Structures are given as structure tokens and as C-alpha cells.
Structure 1
Amino acid sequence: MTIISDYEEKKEPDKILAKRIIHDVGSTGQPPVYGYQYFTAGIDRYINTIDEEYLCDYISCGGSSFKLVIGTYGGGKTHFLYSVQGRGWLNNYVTSYVELSADSTPFHKLETVYRSIAENLIYPQKYEDLHSGYERGIESLIKYWYSRKRNKLEESGLDEDEIRDSLIYYISKIGPYASTSFQNALKHSFLALADDDYEKFSLIIQYLKGENLSKTVLKEYQIFEKIDRPNAFKMIRSLISWIKEIEFKGLIVLMDEAEQTPSMTTKQRETLLNNLRELIDACSKGTIGGSMIFYAVPDENFLEGRTAVYEALNQRLQTVFDGEINPSGVKIDLERSELEPEELLTEIGIKLSKIYETAYGVTFDDKTIKQIMADTAKAAYEERFGEIGYKREFVQRAIKELNALKVQVQR
């Protein structure tokens, strides 16, 4: 079963999407999961290199890679990760964007990381579906997988009994994966859909989501392993293997650190660093082939220490990714833009003004817009040492300026 990506990017946003972009950016300074591309600037060289060097063939042919993304809070980390995600969908990858935090998804607890990856899986979807409320999570992916397989059998002209026999034969051949319990859970969830047994399906999905159920409940399905810290990496490897087997090209995981590590204890921080080292080594050794992992942090302060784990990590993270000049480098510094900071902000502002015109049916004078955005860029960059990243500060100010200009134009 070959799955062809349904995802595509429209050349221009329509009115509703444009208005959503303006509201999202103006209120929180955050880009929408779809629509970010219409005001992207300064990162094309990075994104194009990731696409050409990794996504086109290397990852899909069993390679794996880890990249450390460095950008201040409000400095464009999420926008960059969404840009990678979009390229992933265009290349028919499943993606998972995960916000790491001490409360909900601490990286020192790998079982919660698996849980978040499973909860946030998104397969390539049509623009309309992403725009109106996209499907996400392992439950949606399994249903999509099953429906695609069943639809193909129906199109071949088989009767209902033949379809069922074909589905049973097909699912008996999947695997093997690192975790037999994960493999059995997938098989029984697939069969539950074939039997319209939604109670059974819901039960097994709870396990695949990382919810630890009673051993007695799962025993009849040959599911014996808990999804806990010792088994978390095994489950992630199994997840990637399954995604590749159902003929997506692989999995792209985008981890965005929402809180700084000082909120952790010394033991938690060391566990986090060890987990990170283990993840980097798994990528370099090819034990999680078919995956690309991005880990976004506000700075490199978490690497400052004198113990062995700090030294080991620093050695692994010392090379700099610099687009086509050094595509094998690990660190991606979002401050190393193709443009000077104020020039970059001005370009973003001009792109936002075009989106604004579409959203509200107004037309601005180009010269006026350039001057407003240049002035706003200068003011935002002067506050770059404040609590809010200057890029986020700029886009919020830019929308405020556009609102004021719209009022003037419509008088």
C-alpha cells in the first residue's frame, strides 16, 4: 500500500486563513500550524538544505539525524519547527510536534515523551482539513491506515468475506518490531476496526497512548510490556518502524522546550542530559532509522557543567549546521539568519501586510508600509534584551500598526 501525501501548500492564503494568521500573530505572537509559510523569512537556506539533504532520500532510506535548534523565547523556534513540519508533510512524513515542560512532558521522563509523541502524530492532510481542525494522534493514524487499506480492497472488487480475509492476512504479516507488545497492540487495534469492535479498539488505544492499564485486561491480546522509562526508547523505535512499514517515509519529531532547565533538580537535569545523549547516539548509530529529531532550546546554558555527561554532550553538539555549507552539523542557531536583524523583521512585516490586505480587503501604500515596518523593526530590535524575544515583540507590534493604518485608510 503506497500512501501519497495529501498535503499541499497554496500559493496565497484565502480570506479566512489570512484573518486567522493575523489574529494568531497579533494576539500571542505565535504562528498557526498552517499559514506560517506566508510570512517566513531568513530561514529558507536552512529549510531547503534539510529538505534536500535529509528528507528527500537519506531519512526515508533508513538514515536518522538529530539537530539542536537554538532560539530565544519569542525568537522563532516554533516558526522554524513548523517550517520543517510542512516540508515533512510535502515529502510524506508523519510528524509530531511536542512541547516539553517540567509539568506535562519533562524530557527526563522518557515515558511521557513517548506519550506526547503518540498524542501529537499528524499525517499529511489536505489544506482544508488542517485549516478546519486536523486529525492528530496515534488513534487517528491507525484509523487512517485501516481505512486506506480497506478502501483499496473494496476498489479491487472483493466481496465482504474476501475483504475480511485479506485484512486478517495483511495484519498477520506486519512487523517484527522492537516491542512485541507494541506489535500485538497494533494488530488487535486493526482487527478491532475490522470487527467494528470499538470498545476493544478504545481499550488498546489507551495502551498505545501510554496509559498503563491492568495486566489482566491486556493479557488476552498478548500485551505484557508496560510503557515506562526502561521501555520508552523501544516503543519509540517500534513506532517509527510501523510508520515506515505502512509506507510513509518516516517520522519527524519536533521537540520544543517550553521551560528552562533551572526549574529541575540536579538529578533530573542529569537524567535529561543522559537521555539526550542516548537519543543522539541512537540517531548516529542508526538504531532509530527513518527518523529526524529536532530539539529546540532557548540557549546552550544547559550544557554548562563539569561532570562527564556534560563533556560527552558538548562533544556531540559542537558542530554547526550552516545550510549547504555544512549540512551534517548539529547546532542550528536561529540568530545566524541570511539577513540582518532589522532587515529580516522588515521583510516579515511587509509579508504580514499583504496577508492583512487579504484578510480585510484593504490596500496599503507600499512606501508607507515599508517605512512603518522599518520603524517598528528598529524599535523592536532595540528591546532585544527584554523578557520577550524581539521577533515576537515585532510581529505583535506590526499587527497593531496595521490595525491603526486600516482605520486611517477606511476613513
Structure 2
Amino acid sequence: MTTAATRIRPRDRDAIVQSLRAGVVPRAGQQHVQVGRHHEVNSLVRDIDRIADGGSTARFVIGEYGSGKTFFLHLVRSIALKQKLVTMHADLAPDRRLHATGGQARSLYAELARNTATQAKPDGGALGAVVERFVSQALATAREQGSNPEAVIRQRMADLSELVGGYDFAEVIAAYWRGHDTGNEQLKSDAVRWLRGEFATKTDARAALGVRTIVDDSSFYDQLKLLSRFVRMAGYSGLLVCLDEMVNLYKLTSSQARSANYEQVLRIVNDSLQGTAAHLGFLFGGTPEFLMDTRRGLYSYEALQSRLAENSFAANGLSDYSGPVLRLSSLTQEDFYVLLTKLRHVFASGEPVDYLLPDEALHAFMQHCSQRIGDAYFRTPRTTIKEFLNLLSVLENNPGTDWRPLLGGVRLEADVNPDLEPLTDVAGDDDLVSFKL
């Protein structure tokens, strides 16, 4: 928790402030502005422990547009990194899906691979470092045993042969070792490119690495299961995959395409529930419409609806944070006040003497926001946070300015989801609905 004794480096301060003023989640430093949702965080920390112990998990983080889902997912990722997990994250988009036949699933995998992170490389691009760590450990083992390093690598990789695509995966790792051993940087680069899903044709992969397969639309999930085993061999605790903007599946205009993607989601959920995946976890971020719409959402797929049904006993003020669906609770006014104090603290780089607003101003700001848009200012706080930081910026650039007259210039509108505004619905045809982007 941010306290008066917490000092924040200027670089971290600028990164947090600039991100939040732009309406996006900062890549680091979330702990400085995190408030509330302790039960939700603790629940996912237990999931992280389960992954590290060899289990699997699939959770759906559901919240209204602007309620902080993406921030929450980033926070959980940062916790996972500290627990020695490898993380991958990506936003779904029209050209990035879980299932496709035109390269969209491979595109999603490639984006996940680019955003592979470890505690040492939290900003992504860590897949090559993971491979290098595995090879270095195998080399150390070979030296201790007086054996051939490639033999050690192949022995360790033999465990992957039971999985789909495991043989070629092992061959690629062996090729990386040969590049490492001979100083062939091109061979090492080609191996990492294959692991990242960057080979477009099997012919190119065979010429470069001698393997007959590539990461394509059909092998998206199988490749992630291989990676979860591999990162464990490299000394990490497991793999956490975070997929945000799942609403883009909800927006697919083809019912057939939606069903195929929901079938892939079902496969992941089934593996998680049945324990057939190891050291692997998934977090899906989406809106209530994506989950509960029985016409286009996950609930339109009967098998998923039955598996994701929420605990009927969790009512009348009771909560259950252990199910596959984790609904983000709305921030309270008290939470939001604490958030404003943290934002003020970050803006001042952790120096209380440099606070630009007194506590009185925070209360006045909240009252003004309440009069403008009601309780939406703290339940979906994205725009409110931006305006508060804009106010602090004006005060910083105009020393001695009285904050009171400025409050009237704070203009707010309730944060609504522009992605779910239907443009047309031709005679109710499910395949002809398009959405405003």
C-alpha cells in the first residue's frame, strides 16, 4: 500500500501518470494505485499457487466497461511474475482469435509470444531468454554428469513427446542448442522465431530447422500446453495466459465462427476442470454481455453455460470467489477516496510536501463528480481518474492557482462501452449484426 513514506522514482511516476491520463493501464507500478477487491486478488493468488503446484485453472474476470478489468488483469500478472511464473498476454481483436482458418489464431499466438514476460523481463520479449535459461541449465547438468549436452536436452524433452506437436517442439529446442554450441546465431534466431509462431509456411520451417510443422491456427492451444511444460523445465513455476477484450468474440458476425471459438474456450475450461493440463492457467477478461447474453455470448453455448453457471447460494449478500466466473465488485466511494489519495501521492513522486491538493479538495472533487454523473464516477472510474490527473497537471503547470474555481471546469460523462452499440440488425439475422468500432 502506498504510504507517506513511499518514494516513487520519476520514471515510474511519469509512466503511471501518462498511462492513466491516456485512459490505459500502466505496464508497471499498479501496486501504487490499487484499491479494494482484496477477495478477488486473494482468490487469484490461490490460483497462481495451484499453477505452481502443477495444477491448471481457467477464470473469467467479468466487469462492466471501464470498471477496471484490464487493470486487474495486469495486477494479477505482476503478482504471477513475482511468484516465478512466466506470463503471456494479448487482447483479442478481429484479426486475433482463439479459433480460425485464416491465420487469426496464429496471429493471437504470435501476439502472446511477443508479450511473454518473466520477472527479469516484465515488459515482454522474454521467450528467447526462457529458452536460453533451459539450455544453460542443461549444459550445467551435462558438465556435472560428464555427458553430452544435446543428449541431456533430448532426455529432458522426451516428456513432451506425449503431447501434440511435442516431437517438433523438442527438435526446435535441440536446434537452438546446436546454434548455441556452434555460435550459429541464425539457427538460434530461427528456433525462437518458430517458437513465436513467426514461420508462415512449413517449407520455410523445414529448410531452416528440419521440422515438418509450424504453429498454425489448428495448433494454437496445443502449443500453449507445450510451453507450460517447457517453462517448468526451464526452472519457472508455470505459465499464466491472460486474454483480454474477449468481447471481440461476442462481436463476431458469423454464428459459426463464434461457435468455433466458444468450442475452443470449452476445451480450455474442460482441461482446467479435469486437470489434464499442467502448470497452466488462463484468465479471460470480458463484459457481462459477453458472458450472459444467451443469443451471442458464452451462455449461448449450452455446454459453457452449464460449466460457468454461478453458485446459486451466492446471494443475499453472500459471495463465492472460487468459481470459474469472478465478477469484479464495483469500487465504493470509500475505495475511490483512497484511490484519489494514492493518485495524489504518485503525482507528487511520493513526497507529501509536494501535494498539490489538500484532503478538502478531494472531497470537493468527489462531490462535483457525483453531481455530474452520479455514482458512475466511482463504479466505472476511468474518465474520473483522467480528469483528476488533468486537474493536478494544470495545478503543477500553474503554481499558486486556487483549485476551487477549477472544479467547475471538470467535465465528465458516464463511461459507456462503444463496442456494443449495434449499427444494424437485418430482420434479426444473427449473422448480419455488426457493431460500432
TM-score (normalised: structure 2): 0.77
Deviation at residue 84 of structure 1 after TM alignment: 0.6
Which residue of 225, 248, 255 maps to 1:237? 225
**Are positions 1:181 and 2:168 aligned together?**
yes
Distance 1:320 1:290, change over 3 A: farther
Give per-residue Cα distances to partners, 1:325-365, cap 9 Å, x unaligned. Answer: 6342111122x24x52x333222111100001117972245
Which residue of 396, 418, 421 maps to 1:406? 396
**Are positions 1:274 and 2:263 aligned together?**
yes
Distance 1:233 1:351, change over 3 A: same
Partner SS state of residue 251, structure 2 = helix
Deviation at residue 181 of structure 1 after TM alignment: 0.8
CA contact (8 A) 1:381 1:390 kept: no
Higher alpha-carbon deviation: 366-375 or 33-42: 366-375
CA contact (8 A) 1:189 1:204 kept: yes
**Are positions 1:122 and 2:117 aligned together?**
yes
CA contact (8 A) 1:70 1:300 kept: no
CA contact (8 A) 1:13 1:35 kept: no
Deviation at residue 267 of structure 1 after TM alignment: 1.5
Partner SS state of residue 52, structure 2 = coil
Separation in structure 2 between the aligned mates of residue 18 and residue 34 of structure 1, nearest angstrom: 10
**Are positions 1:76 and 2:68 aligned together?**
yes
Distance 1:263 1:287, change over 3 A: same
Distance 1:265 1:379, change over 3 A: farther
Which residue of 101, 105, 114 maps to 2:93? 101
Gaps of 5+ in 1: 1-9
CA contact (8 A) 2:35 2:339 kept: yes
Distance 1:243 1:190, change over 3 A: same
CA contact (8 A) 1:376 1:397 kept: no
CA contact (8 A) 2:83 2:237 kept: yes
Q: Which residue of 1 aligns with 2:253?
A: 264
Aligned length: 379
Q: CA RMSD in A?
A: 3.3
2:226 alignment partner AA: S
Give per-residue Cα distances to partners, 1:24-44, cap 9 Å, x unaligned. Answer: 111x22221111110011122
Deviation at residue 68 of structure 1 after TM alignment: 0.6
**Are positions 1:358 and 2:349 aligned together?**
yes
Give per-residue Cα distances to partners, 1:53-73, cap 9 Å, x unaligned. Answer: 2223x2122211111111233
Separation in structure 2 between the aligned mates of residue 40 and residue 393 of structure 1, nearest angstrom: 17
CA contact (8 A) 2:43 2:322 kept: no
Deviation at residue 235 of structure 1 after TM alignment: 1.5
Deviation at residue 97 of structure 1 after TM alignment: 1.3
Separation in structure 1 between the aligned mates of residue 8 and residue 24 of structure 2, nearest angstrom: 17
Which residue of 296, 302, 313 maps to 1:311? 302
CA contact (8 A) 1:102 1:259 kept: no
1:1-400 equivalences under 5 Å are 12-26=7-21, 28-51=22-45, 53-56=46-49, 58-103=50-95, 105-109=96-100, 110-125=105-120, 130=122, 134-146=123-135, 167-175=149-157, 176-177=159-160, 178=163, 179=165, 180-210=167-197, 211-215=199-203, 217-218=205-206, 221-257=209-245, 260=248, 261-301=250-290, 303-305=292-294, 310-319=301-310, 326-334=320-328, 336-337=329-330, 339-340=331-332, 342-358=333-349, 362-375=354-367, 377-378=369-370, 381-382=373-374, 384=376, 390-400=380-390
Separation in structure 2 between the aligned mates of residue 219 and residue 193 of structure 1, nearest angstrom: 19
Distance 1:407 1:137, change over 3 A: closer
Separation in structure 1 between the aligned mates of residue 148 and residue 168 of structure 2, nearest angstrom: 23
1:270 alignment partner AA: S
TM-score (normalised: structure 1): 0.81
Partner SS state of residue 347, structure 1 = helix
Higher alpha-carbon deviation: 289-298 or 163-172: 163-172
Distance 1:212 1:379, change over 3 A: farther
Higher alpha-carbon deviation: 107-116 or 343-352: 107-116
Deviation at residue 147 of structure 1 after TM alignment: 5.2
CA contact (8 A) 1:252 1:291 kept: yes
Gaps of 5+ in 2: 402-437
Separation in structure 1 between the aligned mates of residue 232 and residue 154 of structure 2, nearest angstrom: 17
Partner SS state of residue 349, structure 2 = helix
Deviation at residue 408 of structure 1 after TM alignment: 5.7
CA contact (8 A) 1:25 1:396 kept: yes
Partner SS state of residue 173, structure 1 = helix
CA contact (8 A) 2:205 2:213 kept: no
Deviation at residue 397 of structure 1 after TM alignment: 0.8
CA contact (8 A) 1:15 1:359 kept: no
Partner SS state of residue 121, structure 1 = coil
CA contact (8 A) 1:164 1:194 kept: no
